[in-house]
Amino acid sequence: MLQLVNKAQQYAEKIAIVDGSGSYTFQQLLDKSQEVAAFLLQGQTDLKQSRVAFMVSPGFNYTAVQWGIWRAGGIAVPLCITYPFPSLEYVIEDTGAEFILTGPEYGEVLSPYKNHSSKKLISLEEIKATDSSTLPAIKTDRGAMILYTSGTTSLPKGVLTTHDNIQNQVSTLVKAWQWSSEDYTLGILPLHHVHGIINVMSCALWAGATIEFLHPFSASRVFEIFEEGKVNVFMAVPTIYFKLISQFESYPEAHRKALTERMQRFRLMVSGSAALPVSVMEKWKTISGHYLLERYGMTEIGMAISNPYSGERKAGHIGQPLPGVEVRLVDENNQEVAAGEPGEIQIKGPSVFKEYWGKEEATAKAFTEDGWFKTGDIAQVDEGYYRILGRDSIDIIKSGGYKISALEIEEILRKYPEIKDCGVVGVPDEEWGEIVVAALVADSSLDSSKLNAWLRERMPAYKTPRKYIFLEDLPRNAMGKVTKNELKKLF
């Protein structure tokens, strides 16, 4: 993403980032990222795509570290800041990261990597200005970032994108949604996923706009920042819009009126990462004056389909293919379906990722022989607008905008001594889209609060089941396979 770094020079004296510690110009971002790069290089000329994992809170330091890794020739591996150690360890080991950079607040959780034989754990405080070394020239077809995504396998997969892929993802959105250096956006989304990293942070910085980070998310703080009058572009997942609506409704009328007037002046409000319920879209229109622009994307492809910036935005629909993105709908034999018929969304284009890190077979399986990426999402086209109908796998759950694998949770649950068998599914929920629930075949002595505490040491809160039922056996078909549709009905 070196084009992002080059572009920053045009806006040197402008404010790029605002966070809890202050405001920072693009020049400061260039200087700090140069320091990080020089520190990582330690006299070498190029990190040569070595993986650098980093656990840093959203803000100036996060961006400086990410750009520093890129400028030194490394592959950036952002770690989720709410992961417990086993989930972090999985990502660090799977990528074979050589460096682990950490904000001081995460030193403790990463402490098992202190004095490690082959990995260097570096606290941000150790990075000091060194004599600036010459930074390498980097070919844009090299790997830039690995983000983890859950899928139909029990272990998450690392999605490797190149600088070219990311540059395409960002430049397409900047153009389609008309980002400019006059814009000011609020960063509230986690920075280990495409939505927060690409659509919000990188698009803003590419255009010379300002991003203010708010961390952790708080609906009342979002509205306080809106009231300050600087934000004009806002992007979030449906769960966040749901939470903002309920916060808004708790305010007295005069406050609501003032907020509505403020939001009407925004240039753009976007929703994505999960289906936007029509009820949320309509309520948001009443309180903000905005028809949310809903779009569709995936970690492997960036954004692919979007409602128009200018023109009709259709509730319940994800819009039309973005420029440069080829989209087709196919049946089980990879044959295009007739107009208006449902089919799997398949994608081609320069934004599509390079490979699943270290998983050649999974990469090969994800593409058709003629190079189309198989999303697993089922859609149909109504009057030119795509509409998502569901997924081809019941084992993928979307909760709060996060993609969660039922198989991954089951595998961990089965390790709990009192659990003999289990089945995890997602059930519809107004606020979260879906919530994770689990059916357990277990000893009667099982205490679910103890189980929850045990799980929290092994997975982040957003993956933990919210409800349990206890069964003698799981519903199965004649072949003995668990019938998840039947299981869902039991909730």
Note the residues at the interface with ligand MCA (CB under 6 A): 189-190, 193-196, 216-217, 237, 239-240, 272-273, 297-299, 399-402, 432, 435, 461-462, 466
Q: Can you spell out the DSSP letters for 295-360?
A: EEEETTTEEEEE--SSSPPPTT--BEEPTT-EEEEE-TTSPBPPTT--EEEEEESTTS--EETT-H
Q: State the Cα angle at 185 between 169 and 160, rounded to 5°.
A: 30
Least distance in angstroms from the C-beta of 133 to ligand AMP: 36
Number of helices (H) and strands (E) in the chain: give both, helices first.
15, 25
Mask 64-103, x = binds ligand AMP (CB under 6 A)?
A: ----------------------------------------
Q: Which amino acid is at 397?
A: I
Phi-psi region of 311 (alpha: psi -120 to 50; beta: other; left: phi over 0): left
Asked if 377 interacts with ligand AMP (CB under 6 A), we say: yes
Q: Which does residue 275 bind out of ligand AMP, ligand MCA, none, counting CB within 5 to 8 angstroms by kind? A: ligand AMP
Least distance in angstroms from the C-beta of 114 to ligand MCA: 27
Mask 169-208, x = binds ligand AMP (CB under 6 A)?
A: -------------------------x--------------
- Give dist(CA 290, CA 358) in Å, integer: 43
Question: How many residues lie near ligand AMP (CB under 6 A)?
Answer: 18
- Which residue, chain included where needed, has tokens 């942070």? 201
Q: Which amino acid is at 74?
A: G
Q: Which does residue 410 bind out of ligand MCA, ligand AMP, none, counting CB within 5 to 8 angstroms by kind? A: none
Choice between 121 and 198, CB closer to ligand MCA: 198
- Give dist(CA 353, CA 367) in Å, integer: 11
Single residue of 69, 77, 292, 318 touching ligand AMP by CB under 6 A: 318
CB 302 within 8 A of CB 194: yes
Choice between 5 and 189, CB closer to ligand AMP: 189
- Which residue, chain included where needed, has tokens 């295009």? 336
Residue 481: Cβ within 10 Å count: 10
CB 363 within 8 A of CB 391: no
Least distance in angstroms from the C-beta of 472 to ligand AMP: 34
Q: Which does residue 216 bind out of ligand AMP, ligand MCA, none, counting CB within 5 to 8 angstroms by kind? A: ligand MCA
Least distance in angstroms from the C-beta of 417 to ligand AMP: 32
Least distance in angstroms from the C-beta of 434 to ligand AMP: 11
Distances (CA, A) of 175 to 305, 308, 322, 331, 395: 14, 12, 10, 32, 35
Asked if 274 interacts with ligand AMP (CB under 6 A), we say: yes
Mask 284-303, x = binds ligand AMP (CB under 6 A)?
A: ----------x-xxxx----
Q: Which of 197, 140, 200, 207 shows the shortest CA–CA distance to 175?
A: 207
Least distance in angstroms from the C-beta of 245 to ligand AMP: 18
Asked if 320 interacts with ligand AMP (CB under 6 A), we say: no
Give the burial class of 286: count Cβ atoms within 10 A of its Cβ; 0-12 exposed, 13-18 middle, 19 or more buried.
exposed
Least distance in angstroms from the C-beta of 298 to ligand AMP: 4
Least distance in angstroms from the C-beta of 435 to ligand MCA: 5
Q: Which does residue 238 bind out of ligand AMP, ligand MCA, none, counting CB within 5 to 8 angstroms by kind? A: none
Q: Which positions ≥6 away from 61 have C-beta within 8 Å?
A: 32, 103, 124
Choice between 232 and 375, CB closer to ligand MCA: 375
Asked if 395 interacts with ligand AMP (CB under 6 A), we say: no
Asked if 433 interacts with ligand AMP (CB under 6 A), we say: no
Least distance in angstroms from the C-beta of 401 to ligand AMP: 8
Asked if 239 interacts with ligand AMP (CB under 6 A), we say: no
Asked if 237 interacts with ligand AMP (CB under 6 A), we say: no
- Give dist(CA 56, CA 173) in Å, integer: 26
Count of alpha carbons within 13 Å of 424, Cβ hemisphere only? 25
Asked if 156 interacts with ligand AMP (CB under 6 A), we say: no
Residues for the chain: how many in total?
491
- Give dist(CA 312, CA 2) in Å, integer: 35
- From the list 216-224, 260-268, 269-277, 352-360, the region that binds ligand AMP by CB under 6 A is 269-277
In the DSSP assignment, the letter for residue 117 is: S
Choice between 73 and 465, CB closer to ligand MCA: 465
Least distance in angstroms from the C-beta of 388 to ligand AMP: 4
Residue 272: Cβ within 10 Å count: 25
Least distance in angstroms from the C-beta of 316 to ligand MCA: 16
Q: Which does residue 190 bind out of ligand MCA, ligand AMP, none, counting CB within 5 to 8 angstroms by kind? A: ligand MCA
Using CB under 6 A as the criterion, which residues of the chain lie in contact with ligand AMP when the complex forms? 149, 194, 272-275, 294, 296-299, 318, 375, 377, 388, 391, 398, 403
